[in-house]
Structure 1
Amino acid sequence: MAYMTTSAGVPDGYNTPIPSKILTPDRVQTRIGALEFTDGFPSDETAAKVFDNLDFLRAVEVFLQCVPAASMEGMRAGLTEIGLDAAHKMVIADRLLDSNPLFLTGNTDTVYALAMLDLDRDGPTVVEIPPGCGPGTVNDAWFRFVTDMGAPGPDRGAGGSYLIVPPGYTGEIPDGHFVSHSPSYANLLALRGFTVEGKTDAARAMFEDGVKIYPLSAAQDRPQMEFSSFSGKAFNTIHANDREFYEEMAQVIRREPIEMIDPETRGLLASIGIHKDHPFEPDERMRATLADAAAVGNATARSIVFHTRDKRAYFYEDRKWKTGFVGGDYQWLDGDGRDGRNLDARTMFFYQATLNTPAMALEMVGVGSQYALTERDASGAFLQGEKNYRLTLPPNVPAKDFWSVIAYDPQTRSELQTGQPLPSRSSENNHDELVYNDDGSIDLTFGPEPPSERQGNWIQTAPSKSWYAILRLYGPLNPWFDKTWRPDDIERV
């Protein structure tokens, strides 16, 4: 109804002046169409329209908020597929991580050793690592940090015994372990070893001879460790980007303890039908809504990653290189937490990466690693596989250990699949192939066909594919942190 206002500013039907800003007109035009009311009562059509929209909004929000959990579910399912169904089983990239298995921005530089812990099945679980073990990390089912191992962990590279305790455990915890309490049952253990003169033998032997994983309850009768290779195997560890994303989340919520996430997140999931205690059975209308929401959520995540609008993501004002840890905090808490969690920054990281540890975000000179990524050339155009490019790294790359550049596929956010099983160049693994310029700088080239010279500096691209690059510095030095050393942008040639 239309209100008539008297000269005293009192609308028809009222005794006192009513601010117009608190009244709802009979018809409002919005981005979801016209909304109609009768004296503030929504029409049946309007109520149906806004509830559809509310379900859609919440489903999009579930996608964006739950990428870390869906990503870990993809990791768990993929590793289970290749046999990681017991604590004493571990897979090693004994020929490095090539482009056959699908891993979010995995690297070709270090020797991965992976295990999946199931604390619901096994209870408290012991992980013994040998001295000199490369950096390792345990993350929970929401890809949250549980503990580091090796040099960045409490053993400080001396080796030791870690005990990962499940949620709700009230039993005895014996001495002699570095103890961590996980909020979830599923936990990913990722250890890394380094190559020696480009060979993986020492790292593989270190893992096979020194790593022991077993339930605390089996400490007196430990199962024999079983190691297998996952180099060259084709399998998927990446979450869905369609309606199946919500099925993956339903599996996580059913399996994990309810306290793993806060009531607000539980309520958000429940609002679209994902409950701990009830089956996930969306009706036809909801299935269509979820399909649309996954499409919009995926597009939003991809825009956050590849059309980044947060200027803090860029290392330099005049270049295209970006960080994965906007704000410099592994929990993405802005302003020391006063500004809350930067949700887009968290999405930016987890949509394309895994393994969360403070060591990746902290400025530790000569320790750990630092990353910079770009999907654009110097002109601002996306990198295209049919074109040729050059990246110049200035002299004295500030890496105590070594540096690498790896090409990735924007679709899978995994290593680019080409005729090169390892789509990368590394100062360690490719030491004998790389040719440096007279001033100590190095030109890396990218393109579908090998150049006529300096083929050891070439990373192959696929003519039908876009790509993006990540520069990694292992043992980063001061010139990286104070930005006196800067990589050039990738130039089209």
Structure 2
Amino acid sequence: MTYSELPGRLSQVRTDGDLPRREDVRLVFDELDHQLATQVYLWALPLVSFAQWKQQHEQVFGATSSDLVHYVTYRDRLGLITANATTPYILNFFDLAETGPLVIELPAGPTAGGVSDFWQREIGVMGELGPDAGRGGKHLVLPPGAQSPVPDDSGYYVLPSTGMNVMFGFRTLDPDPARAQSLVEAVRIYPYARRENPPATRILSPDGRPWTGDQPRGLEYFRRLHEIYQSEVVDERDRFYLAMLRQLGIEKGKPFAPDDRLTRILEQGAAAGELMAQANTFAKRFEGSRYWPDRQWDLAIVLDSSSQRGDGHDELFERASWFYEAVTFSTAMKSTTPGAGQAYLGAYTDADGDWLDGGRDYALHVPAGVPAKLFWSATVYDVTTRCLIDNDHQRGDRGSRDADLVTNADGSVDLYFGPNPPEAGESNWVQTIPGKHWFSYFRFYGPLEPYFDRSWKLDDITAR
């Protein structure tokens, strides 16, 4: 093979015998740094995603380490990657280097939540599926390597963190809005060092302010990576990637100041990295990701565990797939226990394997007997932002909790997606936007045995 047959800049390299010409070595290094940038992009997706969200909490909502942000309305959620449109979210981000050991007091009642590091690895579960089993209690999050300041019989649930930055979030499961709000207001978060006189925990709202939690594009992606890297610990498994960061001008304790050459390479690397992330997410090539062999539905979550470790390898591309299209992961989101947790299926194409087009009309037949103990929903997301579709109706999902959902005589449901309402009316319709592609999640809350044994089967989304 000659250099002219190689991809990218390498095809321009001229030879001097069996070596590249000295003046063309720069092209080789440009291509090397471009490839480093694309791989760093894929590797850093979960970290940059949380860093971006934390920055929005601080700069847009004015949140501090004594606050929680409560996402209630549809507009509140428009910046939240693949949010469900049914239950509220309450969360915030904390730098344990600032707070030290962090106390989270959760009230008794129907809640589900937990703590994750900024690689979006679950540190601990709280609420009905946690050790408190919905009874409430005090959870103590420890910075990496810190000794617990409480004895074993203190009554605290101690959670050693795997990162210096953490996210605490939970959802209320009580369908009564007043009781759910009381649960939110009863949560307390404060440094353990201030336990004798803890600061008040404020509940903030987005209040309709525009914000974006999807990863920034271009050079801003690497700026956000540089910022969060300054305050984050280094995993042993990531040391080779840190060598890549150094080559790209990202080091601890040093400013990020790329010159014109590196700026151009990083901008191109971010664009190429996102293109790879889109293919890795929307055209999954992971063994076992297709849920039924004769359907287009995929397992949205291809990670095996919250540790992001597979059999003999770390789940680099599985992690990139999920955290490009979504945020957070917990074991409850990939339930293997009938009636508990959730299950997520994703449709990125129609029945013919074509991308879902916002300018076309589609239908989805949901057979009777959906195997979900609590409820089910089908949600539409914009592929560019991976957030809820920002349509005129400000409605992105339809599901079994919708009082106006029309059910067929046999118990099945026909859903409609497209720019035009169906003749049957708007009750089962989600409006899409011409010129924008979209994808859908079908969620099972409390998935039942017919889901796990695949005896119940969801139809494909079909053009009509």
Shorter-chain TM-score tier: over 0.9
**Equivalent residue number for residue 486 of structure 1:** 457
- CA distance, structure 1, for counterparts of residue 303 and residue 69 of structure 2: 34
Q: Equivalent of 2:49, from 54, 62, 71?
A: 71
2:169 counterpart of 1:190: yes
**Equivalent residue number for residue 177 of structure 2:** 200
Q: Equivalent of 1:380, from 329, 349, 353?
A: 353
The answer as to whether partners of 2:69 and 2:205 remain within 8 angstroms in 1 is yes
Q: Equivalent of 2:200, from 217, 224, 232?
A: 224
| 1:302 shift after superposition | 0.7
> Which stretch has the larger CA shift, 159-168 or 70-79?
159-168
Paired residue type of 1:302 = Q
Deviations 1:69-107 (A, max 9, x none): 110111101111343533321121234x44763111011
| 1:319 shift after superposition | 0.8
| 1:277 shift after superposition | 2.2
Secondary structure of the residue aligned to 1:351 is helix
| 1:451 shift after superposition | 2.7
Paired residue type of 1:326 = V
Paired residue type of 2:57 = L
| 1:227 shift after superposition | 1.2
- CA distance, structure 2, for counterparts of residue 447 and residue 201 of structure 1: 35
The answer as to whether partners of 1:99 and 1:414 remain within 8 angstroms in 2 is no
| 1:170 shift after superposition | 4.0
Secondary structure of the residue aligned to 1:414 is coil
Deviations 1:36-91 (A, max 9, x none): 56575543134222111111111111001001111011110111134353332112
The answer as to whether partners of 1:184 and 1:260 remain within 8 angstroms in 2 is no
1:128-139 aligned at under 5 Å gives the runs 128-139=105-116
Pick closer, same or farther for the CA change 1:187–1:26 going to 2, 3 Å.
Answer: closer
Paired residue type of 1:465 = K
Aligned length: 460
- CA distance, structure 2, for counterparts of residue 378 and residue 38 of structure 1: 53
Deviations 1:344-402 (A, max 9, x none): 22111000111122222341211111101112111112112222211111111111000
**Aligned residues: CA RMSD:** 2.2
What is the TM-score of this pair, normalised by structure 1? 0.88
Pick closer, same or farther for the CA change 1:383–1:132 going to 2, 3 Å.
Answer: same
**Equivalent residue number for residue 105 of structure 1:** 82
Secondary structure of the residue aligned to 2:278 is helix
**Equivalent residue number for residue 368 of structure 1:** 341
The answer as to whether partners of 1:26 and 1:37 remain within 8 angstroms in 2 is no
1:211-290 aligned at under 5 Å gives the runs 211-230=187-206, 232-258=208-234, 262-290=238-266
**Equivalent residue number for residue 446 of structure 1:** 417
Pick closer, same or farther for the CA change 1:396–1:57 going to 2, 3 Å.
Answer: same
**Equivalent residue number for residue 397 of structure 1:** 370
2:38 counterpart of 1:54: no
Pick closer, same or farther for the CA change 1:465–1:316 going to 2, 3 Å.
Answer: same
| 1:473 shift after superposition | 0.7
| 1:169 shift after superposition | 2.5
Pick closer, same or farther for the CA change 1:41–1:276 going to 2, 3 Å.
Answer: same
Secondary structure of the residue aligned to 1:52 is helix
Secondary structure of the residue aligned to 1:402 is strand
Deviations 1:201-257 (A, max 9, x none): 32222111x211111011000112211333643211221121211111000111223
The answer as to whether partners of 1:99 and 1:417 remain within 8 angstroms in 2 is no
Q: Which runs of 4+ in 1 moved over 4 A?
A: 25-29, 34-42, 258-261
**Equivalent residue number for residue 3 of structure 1:** none
**Equivalent residue number for residue 308 of structure 1:** 284
Question: Which protein is bigger by CA-based radius of gyration?
Answer: 1
Determine what percentage of the aligned residue pairs are the same residue: 31
**Equivalent residue number for residue 169 of structure 1:** 146
Show structure 1 runs of 5+ residues with no match. 1-24
Secondary structure of the residue aligned to 1:313 is coil
- CA distance, structure 2, for counterparts of residue 303 and residue 27 of structure 1: 27
Q: Equivalent of 1:420, from 393, 399, 403?
A: 393
| 1:123 shift after superposition | 0.7
Pick closer, same or farther for the CA change 1:84–1:169 going to 2, 3 Å.
Answer: farther
| 1:153 shift after superposition | 1.6
Pick closer, same or farther for the CA change 1:124–1:233 going to 2, 3 Å.
Answer: same
2:450 counterpart of 1:471: no
Show structure 2 runs of 5+ residues with no match. none
Paired residue type of 2:84 = N
The answer as to whether partners of 2:334 and 2:342 remain within 8 angstroms in 1 is no
